[in-house]
Every structure is written in C-alpha cells, then in structure tokens.
Amino acid sequence: MRTVRVAVVGVGNLGRRFLGLLGDKERLLASKYGLAIRVVGVADSGGTAIAASDKGFEVDRVVRLKEQGRSVAELPGGIEGGDAGSLVCDVALDVLCEATPVCFEQGAEPAVSILRAALMRGIHVVTPNKGPIVVAGIELAELARSHGAQLRFDGTVAGGLPALYVGMRDLRGAVVRRILAVPNLATGYILDLLAAGASWEEACRDANENGVLEGDGSWDLDGWDAAAKLVILARAVLGAGADVTLADVLRTGVRGIGAKQVRDAQVRGGVLRLLATAEEDDDPNRSWHLMVEPTVLKRGHPLAGLGRTEMGVVFETDIYGTITLKIDEPTPLPSAATMLRDILDIYESP
C-alpha cells in the first residue's frame, strides 16, 4: 500500500466534495489502486490546519465543519489566519490539491504563488482552478518539468468531462483541426430557462438560487469563463502554447439575450448556446482563431442536443473523425471528482 500525503487548499463546493470522496472511496482506492490518500493539511480563507501525524485528518470531520460554515482553523492543529502557502513549506507533502476561486483580478493569486512553491519543491499539483493555468500555466508546466513534478488540471475545462485527457492523450497521432465547446454550465442553464419562457431576470435569479451563477454573474455571462477554458484547451490540445492568451479570444457573452432570440433559434430547428471555437487561422498575421459567441446550433450539430445542465466538447481530427464528449453535471460532484482522477493518473502513470 502506498501512502499519498495531500494538502487541500480551498474547501468550498469542490474541495469539500473532494474530501468527501476520499472518505467514500477509501476502500476502493486501497483495493483497486493500492493507495492510501491521507489529508495532512487543509486551508480555507480563515486559516490552516496541519494534521498531527501522517495518518492525516478524519475527512468526514473536516467536511462536517465546512458544511457548518466554519473554518478549518478550528481543527486540532489549526491556525486562525494561517497562510495557505505555508502548508507547502511546513508539511511533508506528495500532492497539493488547490481549489480556491479564480481571482483573475488579482493575477490568480494566491493560487499562482502556492502552485509555484509546491512545484519548486517537487510536489505534484492538482487543480480545477482556471486562474493559475490561464495566467501562468506555461511557467508552471515548465517548473513541474524541471522539478520532476506533475501539474494536473483536468477539472478546469467543462467540469467532470475528461476533455483534456482525451484531447492530450487519447487522440494519439492525430492533428486536431478544430475544437468546438459549450464549456460553461451557467449560460446553457439560463438560455434553457429563457427557452422555457422565463424572463432574463427570472432565469438569472433561478441560476443564482441554485448556485449555478455566482454574484453578478459577469464571469459567466460575459463569456470570460468560456474564454478561459478555450485558452486552456487550445494550449493543451492544439499546441497553441504561450501564443494564446485570454486577450486573443474574440468574446461575446449572453447578457441581454431575450426569450424571443432563444425561441427564434428553436423555430429555426436549433438551440442557442454560448459556443467556444478554436482553430488554426488562415490569416498569416495570426496563428490561432479563438472565439466565444452565442450561436444557434442547428439540428445535426454535435452539441445541439445539450440539456440544461450539460456541457460538451467536440474534437475535429484528421484521423479519428469527429469526437464528441458531453456531460450532465447537475451538481459539482463530477468537477470535484476530477481531483481524484488527476491523483490516480499521477500514480498510475509510469
């Protein structure tokens, strides 16, 4: 049995569910993968806690505490106001699991600094947070390579859909000519409610009440989330590398779309979704064409059948034809599960 010592930074929707999964799957992880994953450090916005031994925390206890809206600083070994970055320095770790908010306005901090510190110590990193991957993904990948660590971010694109694994690994030998994606759940949810007769305000309120949309929703509604996911896909699957940044995405969000527009799409036999497209550009001055815009997906389009809580990614390839992946994600569990998938992949790969 191999013990894997992990720290979890960010114990919200995803981090909390990930911890729950470690408890639920403990026996399977031992019997099928020979792994004992121990949570030896945790951090939230209130502070940090370090376990007394390599046995780690009782994960159910941490989950219960967070469900009560309390801070991990209340755990034994807790430090109120403790800095999450200190976990990387003060605890013997194998994997850092990072699930804090995106925080683009702050340059994706504190995530970038925490990931950098972990990778420089040879600690593997698993994160579903788009922020550090879009802002500093190229640098972080290089740090990982040079320090013998792995950087995994499967959960950054379309929730629990293994789009990055398929795109980066399973399309061996192929040239991916174009990526089409509906990677943002909130906009599909709202457009679907509009199609069902809700007003814009009603649809946004529903999305807010159901935790699909957060705050004023500008991150989702103005297309930033879809654009960030497209950048990650283009770099990882098309090989666009550092040539592609968020600023390169031609972006139109869904704000202000009316029920009439959505129903017109239905009358024309289609469905309106915020479509993200990435492909090599014909324009000799630009290498890549990246676009996010509301698009009528006509019947027959591989993503036309997406339901209210579904997301999808299409790879158009030279040798495997067109591959379509989709996921129904009514709760954040599949997104949280990507952190487990990433850890298992790290320990399964040679």
Ligand X SMILES: NC(=O)c1ccc[n+]([C@@H]2O[C@H](COP(=O)([O-])OP(=O)(O)OC[C@H]3O[C@@H](n4cnc5c(N)ncnc54)[C@H](OP(=O)(O)O)[C@@H]3O)[C@@H](O)[C@H]2O)c1
Which positions lie near ligand X, rule CB under 6 A?
Answer: 9-15, 43-46, 71, 84, 99-102, 110, 128-130, 155, 159, 332, 335
CB 194 within 8 A of CB 203: yes
Nearest distance, CB of residue 89 and ligand X, angstroms: 15
CA–CA separation, 116 vs 331, rounded Å? 30
Which CB sits closer to ligand X, 141 or 327?
A: 327
CA 127 to CA 326: how far, in whole Å? 21
Report residue 91: phi and psi, to 5°: -120, 140
Which residue's CB is nearer to ligand X, number 125 or number 296?
A: 125
Gyration radius from the chain CA atoms: 20
For ligand X, which is the closer residue by CB, 129 or 301? Answer: 129
Nearer to ligand X, 97 or 179 (CB): 97
CB neighbourhood size of 339 (10 A): 29
Task: For the CB of residue 38, give the shortest distance to ligand X in the complex, in Å.
Answer: 20
Least gap, CB of 72 to ligand X (angstroms): 8
Evaluate whether 82 touches 41 at the Cβ level (below 8 Å): no
Cβ closest to ligand X, residue 72 vs residue 141: 72
CB of 82 to ligand X, least distance (A): 9
- Residue number, 77 or 270, with CB nearest to ligand X: 77
What are the DSSP E strand ranges found in the chain?
2-9, 35-44, 47-50, 78-80, 95-98, 124-126, 151-152, 176-182, 249-251, 270-280, 288-298, 310-317, 322-328
The least CB distance from residue 185 to ligand X, in Å, is 7
Minimum Å distance from CB 323 to ligand X? Answer: 22
Give the nearest distance from C-beta 269 to ligand X in angstroms: 31
Nearer to ligand X, 224 or 288 (CB): 224
The Cα–Cα gap between 190 and 192 comes to: 5
Q: Which is nearer to ligand X, 19 or 265 (CB)?
A: 19
- Characterise 278 by phi-psi region: left (phi > 0), alpha (psi -120 to 50), beta (else): beta
Closest approach of ligand X to the CB of residue 92, in Å: 20
Q: Which is nearer to ligand X, 13 or 245 (CB)?
A: 13
Q: Are 349 and 168 in contact (CB under 8 A)?
A: no
At 66, list the tokens. Answer: 């967070």
Length of the chain: 350
Is the peptide bond between 76 and the residue preceding it cis, with omega within 30 degrees of 0? no
Q: Measured between alpha carbons, how far apart are the two ends of the chain, in Å?
A: 17
Beta carbon of residue 321, minimum distance to ligand X (angstroms, whole number): 28
In SS3 terms, 233-286 reads as HHHHHCCCHHHCCHHHEEECCCCCCCHHHHHHHHHCCEEEEEEEEEEECCCCCC
